[in-house]
């Protein structure tokens, strides 16, 4: 998109023009999604992240005229989304290892209590999930099945299984985050 036309769309977007947003979305969404998918190797997550980025752009549309280069700005948002995702994956992995380790180690009473509370929060979160998502999560995390095995057993696509797992983990992270914010 040429610079002048892009600037015109940004001006219109700042003035709440849905058509300008649509034009920017049509131009950049596929590129952003592809960029993210290339980095995280998941089309489903890439689409979710790309949609989140455009949601943020729409919500922050009053400030878009401050952007020097929309192309650079949107790719920086995509890069930051991938970094945040990667960091959350590391935290999740470390937490899983921690939980695995604490099952075999005698903990001080307070730490054991926190670990039990977090496990209870996870179980409550899982119990409140829609039945299909709960089943997929339990088959993955409790039974240790691979996504492809789950897909075959439940007669779902592998992408659907991945989507259910991503949504389940997102719910669990949100529940734990709220617990940590309010009680730690």
pLDDT digits (tens, 9 = 90+) for 11-49: 999 999 999 999 999 999 999 999 998 888 888 888 999
Q: Are 78 and 17 part of one and the same domain?
A: yes
User: In the chain, which ranges are E strands?
Assistant: none
Q: Are 7 and 82 part of one and the same domain?
A: yes
- Over residues 43-100, the pLDDT tens digits come to 888 899 999 999 999 999 999 888 888 888 998 899 888 888 877 777 777 777 766 6
Whether the per-residue pLDDT at 102 is higher than 60: the answer is no
Which CATH number do you get for residue 166? Answer: 1.10.10.10
The answer to whether the predicted template modeling score (pTM) of the entire model surpasses 0.85 is: no
Between 182 and 122, name the one with better pLDDT: 122
* Residue span of the structural domain in which 52 resides: 3-86
How far from 173 is each of 13, 88, 111, 167, CA to CA, in Å? 33, 9, 19, 10
pLDDT of 100: 67
CA dihedral 20, 21, 24, 27 (to 10 degrees): -100
Between 156 and 84, name the one with better pLDDT: 156
pLDDT of 123: 83
Q: Are 74 and 110 part of one and the same domain?
A: no
pLDDT of 184: 53
């Amino acid at each position: 998109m040429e610079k002048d036309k892009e600037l015109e769309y940004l001006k219109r977007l700042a003035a709440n023009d849905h058509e300008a947003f649509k034009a920017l979305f049509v131009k950049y969404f596929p590129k952003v999604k592809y960029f993210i998918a290339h980095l995280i190797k998941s089309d489903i997550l890439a689409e979710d992240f790309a949609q989140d980025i455009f949601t943020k752009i729409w919500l922050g549309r009053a400030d878009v005229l401050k952007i020097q280069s929309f192309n650079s700005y949107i790719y920086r948002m995509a890069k930051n989304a991938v970094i945040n995702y990667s960091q959350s994956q590391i935290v999740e992995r470390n937490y899983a290892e921690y939980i695995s380790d604490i099952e075999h180690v005698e903990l001080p009473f307070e730490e054991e209590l926190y670990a039990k509370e977090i496990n209870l929060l996870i179980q409550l979160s899982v119990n409140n999930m829609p039945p299909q998502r709960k089943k997929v999560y339990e088959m993955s995390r409790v039974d240790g099945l691979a996504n492809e095995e789950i897909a075959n057993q439940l007669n779902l696509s592998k992408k659907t299984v991945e989507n259910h797992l991503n949504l389940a983990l997102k719910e669990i992270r949100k529940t734990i985050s709220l617990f940590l914010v309010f009680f730690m």
